[in-house]
Structure 1
């Protein structure tokens, strides 16, 4: 995800931009099924966003069926 940035000036909310970046990584296979997404802290630091923004992005991906969250372990790409 390094090198790709979010645009705070965009009309699209940051949480949606982040979800789109993660979705692209999942759909391209950069993050394969049953593998974890980067941690909330890692995404916060890489993109300069809040924890709430990261969690909202994860929620969008969960609602789309792309990821599952395992309490105490993290958020993983769903098996296809």
Structure 2
């Protein structure tokens, strides 16, 4: 299922919220909301922006990391991976 960068989380939809968030964040990266090697919003900010639990946000970020779209630096944040 495709998600747009401006979509909202549908808690009653067929796709789990963490997959929805991963799709939305992927679309935002593709749109250029965050430059390569620049941080995406913090977990806490994403929790507030999308009204999700912190564990849900962490799972979404883990999906992005597994897909190679972001990388995490301890104590610094999560950053957009530069294009290959």
TM-score class normalised by the smaller sequence? over 0.9
Where structure 2 has 5 or more consecutive residues not aligned to the other structure, the ranges are 1-5
Where structure 1 has 5 or more consecutive residues not aligned to the other structure, the ranges are none
Q: 25-34 or 53-62: which moved more?
A: 25-34
3-state secondary structure, aligned to 1:58: helix
Corresponding residue for residue 50 of structure 2 = 47
Matched residue count = 78
Which one of the candidate residues 60, 63, 66 is aligned to 1:60? 63
Q: Distance in 2 between matches of 1:59 and 1:76?
A: 12
Structure 1 residues 17-41: Cα deviation after superposition (integer angstroms, max 9, x where no partner): 1111110011111111111111101
Q: Distance in 1 between matches of 2:33 and 2:76?
A: 20
Q: State the superposition RMSD in angstroms.
A: 1.0
Which one of the candidate residues 15, 18, 26 is aligned to 2:18? 15
- Runs of 4+ more than 6 Å apart: none
Report the TM-score, using the length of structure 1 for normalisation.
0.92
